[in-house]
Amino acid sequence: MVNVPVSLSVRQVQNLGTVSDDMYTCVVCGSTQPATAWRCSCGGPLEFTQQPEPTIASPPSLNHNAGLWAFEDWLPVERSVSLGEGFTPLVAAPDRDVTYKLEWLFPTGSFKDRGATATISHADQLDVNRVVEDSSGNAGKAIATYAAYAGFDAEIFVPADAKPGKVRAIERTGATITKVEGSRQAVTDACTAQLEGGTAEDPSTAWYASHAWNPAFFEGTATFAYEIAAQRDWTAPDAVVTPLGHGTLFLGAYRGFARLSNWGLIDEIPRLYGVQAAGVAPIVEARDGIVAGEGTNSVADGIQITEPVRAQQIQTALDASGGEAVAIDAERTNAEYDRLHRNGLFVEPTCAVAPAAVDLLREAGELDAEDTVVVALTGTDSNR
């Protein structure tokens, strides 16, 4: 077993849930930050300073009825806001010779519920009563839904051209929708402008429940890896393929598998492959040059991220796992989207990039015929 680097320190948990001056640690400069912070003063993203360090002598016995909260002892937040999410099925895809993890089978129709249940539970423990988020769709819907269930006020900032079906789904939760003209960064800027003036006793006029910035969100998505290992009798697949925008699921998968390896529950972490949209593929371009990311793919609207917040962490995860990032164009995405629907898999176009990449990865020699491969299908088609 190799001790795999993770993006945060692992310490014995003490007094988690208490608002403190050192609840978070910056992944860039290492400074500690209070629970009111959404990023470090240096601009870096944050992680929980303290983490649970479970004592695991053998594969644990899990209560699958608890959903992803079957892993509560492995998370730095306690369950308080849950809709029964998690333990999505693993199903064989004989035509692809892979296994699909059906991540659209969540209360709001996407894997973002993994992060939302952890993030809103964290907010509840901090006595937050108003949350804000910026999202083009699924993350905003997830945060708005869980906030409504918790009785919080929520305001979701969306691009002016966000898909009407997803906007309507957010509105039905009772959340306030604020449409912002301009770039995706302009949407984030409008949202974070709400975060000024907090104190430890009054976390702020609003608390940032961000799928890109909030550390609790990534703790929730780490359960994706825990579930796969548990469903495979505590063995890891050879490779895992996910869409890649901000890296919300990709980084959760990495930290989850890295911890399982370090805890001795799996022999090694799988190779992780992140799939970006051609023309908006900053990770691919940084690794392999501009040509590798060229093309167009507006079909995969959920991963149109030009500047991932945690880009360096994504690069670390790719290198440590022996994986790679690839870009998929609209033609391949549309073809795979149709193919998935013909096989009874009611997914949205963005998640089609992951199975579409399997052929490309095999052609490039990244995946062998003998490899066991898990592909994440991340969102439903129901709100387009």
DSSP 277-296: ETTB-HHHHHHH-GGGG-S-
In this model, does residue 8 exceed pLDDT 70?
no
Q: Rounded to whole angstroms, how far apart are CA atoms 345 and 93? A: 11
Q: Is residue 11 pLDDT above 80, yes or no?
A: no
The first and second tokens of residue 378, run together, are 């991340």
Percent of the chain with pLDDT over 70: 91
Q: Same domain for 170 and 318?
A: no
Residue type at 95? D
Whether residue 5 lies inside any domain: the answer is no
Report the pLDDT averaged over residues 66-93.
96
Average pLDDT over residues 250-261: 97
Query: Do 226 and 258 form a contact (C-beta atoms < 8 A)?
Result: no
Assigned domain for 79 exists: no
Is 150 found in the same domain as 275?
A: no
Per-residue pLDDT band at 195 (split at 50, 70, 90)? confident
CATH, residue 209: 3.40.50.1100
Mean pLDDT, all residues of the chain: 90
Section 365-383 average pLDDT? 93
pLDDT at res. 100:
98
Give the model's pLDDT for residue 159: 93
Do the domain assignments include residue 134?
yes
The whole-number average pLDDT for the span 299-322 is 96
Based on the domain organization, do 241 and 187 belong to the same domain?
no
Residues 180, 95 share a domain: no
Residue 174 above 90 pLDDT? yes
Domain boundary among 162, 194, 214: 214
pLDDT, residue 58, reads: 76
Tell me, yes or no, whether 104 lies in a domain. yes
346 and 205 housed in the same domain: no
* Last residue of one domain, picked from the residues 180, 214, 248: 214
* pLDDT (tens digit per residue) in 201-254: 444 479 999 999 999 999 999 999 999 999 999 999 999 999 999 999 999 999
Tokens of 329: 């164009």
* Total of domains in the chain: 2
Secondary structure percentages of the chain, helix, strand, coil, to 5: 35, 15, 45
| Residue 279 and residue 237 share a domain | yes
**Residue 322 clears pLDDT 70, i.e. is over it:** yes
Q: Quick one: pLDDT at residue 163?
A: 84
> Do 234 and 322 belong together in one domain?
yes
So what's the pLDDT on residue 380? Answer: 93
Q: In terms of residue numbers, what domain contains 339?
A: 90-111+217-377
* Same domain flag for 190 and 224: no
Q: 191 and 235 in one domain?
A: no
Predicted local distance difference test score (pLDDT) of residue 13: 29
In the prediction, which pLDDT does 197 show?
53
In a domain, 314, yes or no: yes
Assess if residue 39 is contained within a domain: no
For residue 10, pLDDT beyond 70: no
